[in-house]
């Protein structure tokens, strides 16, 4: 049994809205640790047990932390032209390393335009714009952790 992206996001939401400061979950070779990071209420998470995947059959290197650790960033209040993160995970602007980003500032988007990928436990999830307009700001840096509901991009909507 493994955790889906939606299950991880729900666990994160429950911890954020509880009085608990830490949760450790071990399940069939997956270790998920969620911990509040100081008074700001942000949460640190890691997967520590190697996972075998189609592209990584041995599981080697899975769960390795990125430099600086994985700490959730504070989110801005979303506005009517904002695209928000549908889940907690690592934000990627391009389909693979070295590729051109899905969108740049000035790019035109429509509701079906893929604007990013969010990785949760080695599962890549595409993020679609959901609105029509022009990208005016891209907020998170590439390969950083984003929270559920965090503003990813601001779009000047078409009238």
The string of DSSP codes covering 17-75 is TSS-SEEEEEETTEEEEEEEETTTTEEEEEE-S---BTTBTT-TTTTPPPTT--BPPPP
Is residue 103 pLDDT above 90, yes or no? yes
pTM: 0.53
Residue with the two structure tokens 């840096």: 141
Contact 7, 13 (CB under 8 A): no
Enumerate residues 6+ apart whose C-beta is below 8 A from 13: 148
Backbone angles phi, psi at 108, to 5 degrees: -85, 135
pLDDT at res. 125: 92
pLDDT at res. 77: 53
Enumerate residues 6+ apart whose C-beta is below 8 A from 1: 27, 28
Mean pLDDT of all residues belonging to the chain: 73
Averaged pLDDT for residues 85-93: 92
pLDDT at res. 6: 73
Burial 109-139 (b: 16+ CB within 10 A, else e): beeebebbbbbbbbeeeebbbebebbbeebb
pLDDT at res. 14: 75
Could you tell me the two tokens for 147?
Answer: 């929270």
CATH number of the domain located at residue range(s) 82-157 in this protein: 2.40.50.100
């Amino acid at each position: 049994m493994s955790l889906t992206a939606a299950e991880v996001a729900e666990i994160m939401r429950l911890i954020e809205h509880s009085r608990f400061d830490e949760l450790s979950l071990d399940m069939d070779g997956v270790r998920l640790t969620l911990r509040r990071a100081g008074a700001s209420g942000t949460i640190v998470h890691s997967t520590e047990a190697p996972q075998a995947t189609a592209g990584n059959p041995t599981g080697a290197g899975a769960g390795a932390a990125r430099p600086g650790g994985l700490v959730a960033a504070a989110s801005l209040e979303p506005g009517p032209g904002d695209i928000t993160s549908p889940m907690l995970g690592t934000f990627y602007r391009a389909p693979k390393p070295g590729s051109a980003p899905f969108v740049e500032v000035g790019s035109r988007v429509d509701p079906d335009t893929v604007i990013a990928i969010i990785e949760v436990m080695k599962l890549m999830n595409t993020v679609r714009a959901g609105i029509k307009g022009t990208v005016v700001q891209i907020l998170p840096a590439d390969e950083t952790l984003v929270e559920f509901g965090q503003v990813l991009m601001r779009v000047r909507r078409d009238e």
